[in-house]
Chain A
Amino acid sequence: MPHRADIGRLYDQCGAALYRYALMILADTSAAADAVHDVFVAVLRRRVALDHPEHYLRRAVRNECYSVLRRRKTETPAAVAAPSGTGGPLIEPVGSDDPDLRIAIERALGELPAEQREVVHLKAFEGMTFQEIADATGESINTVASRYRYAMEKMRAQLG
């Protein structure tokens, strides 16, 4: 059973990666922070034994993010269609910054459906293979590959 100190350690271990994952699904900085926060608190409340905390937390964050999106859909259908763009930036430069390109990519990412943005994140930013993404998301490898292809086509069209 994790304790308060364990939660701090667990956060240091995978909090940032979980936040980035949530951010790419939700495209909303404050909602991503809330999702990560809620998952960590739920871990303590449910008193689950964590043999593989990264896998468990990743799945829990994913479930939480899609729950948030489902709730948004039922509460305000218009909010889902429009790119949220709330809070801070979605992406940051790894090396030297090109603000125009960053803003263009951020806008293109914001226009994608959450499922496609998730696959782009796992493939392009986390370097996972389609098989690993399929295992992590519970989708078929064909679905995952299609989502990535559609996302890339849309982004390419947007970026010109």
Chain B
Amino acid sequence: MRSSDDLDSVLKRFRPAGPPEGLRARVVAAAGVAQAVRPAPAIAEWLPAAAAVLLVVLFHWLAANERQQIESHVIPVAPIDHAAALLAEFHE
């Protein structure tokens, strides 16, 4: 063998051997088993979604609570248009 080119051309007369006959059937059968015994989705997969829902509920509850507290401290007043109309009547 004189050069890499010679060896290259010799190698081109061959190729790696192909897969054994039963490999496809083995792969497909194992794939079927793997699919059949696939475990239910782990809790970890649902954790981000559950945490997001929990946060939404928590913030909604906090906001509602805060709104209720503010409303309890504020004295309701008559609308400004109504007050203006009353004053106008008084002046007349």
Contacts and interface: CB of A to CB of B under 8 A. Distances in A.
A120 B14 contact: no
A94 B13 contact: yes
Nearest to A159: B1
Contact of B31 (A7, A95, A125, A152): A7
Interface in A88-130: 88-95, 98, 101-102, 105, 120-121, 124-125
A101 B1 CA distance: 12
A87 to B, nearest CB: 8
B20 interface: yes
A89 B19 CA distance: 11
B17 A37 contact: no
A20 B13 contact: no
Interface string A1-35: 00110011001100110011101100001001100
A65 interface: no
A158 to B, nearest CB: 9
Contacts of B38: 44-45, 47
A105 B14 contact: yes
B7 A159 contact: yes
How big is chain B's contact interface, by range?
20 to 34
A144 interface: no
A44 B24 contact: no
B16 interface: yes
A152 B4 CA distance: 6
A91 B35 CA distance: 34
Contact of B24 (A8, A23, A92, A95): A8
Interface of A: 3-4, 7-8, 11-12, 15-16, 19-21, 23-24, 29, 32-33, 36-37, 40-41, 44-45, 47, 88-95, 98, 101-102, 105, 120-121, 124-125, 149, 152, 155-156, 159-160
For the complex of A and B, the 4 pairs showing the least CB-CB separation, nearest first, are: A19-B19, A20-B16, A7-B31, A124-B11
11 contacts: A4-B28, A4-B35, A21-B16, A23-B16, A36-B23, A47-B38, A91-B16, A98-B13, A101-B10, A149-B4, A152-B8
Interface of B: 1, 3-4, 7-8, 10-20, 23-24, 26-28, 30-32, 34-35, 38
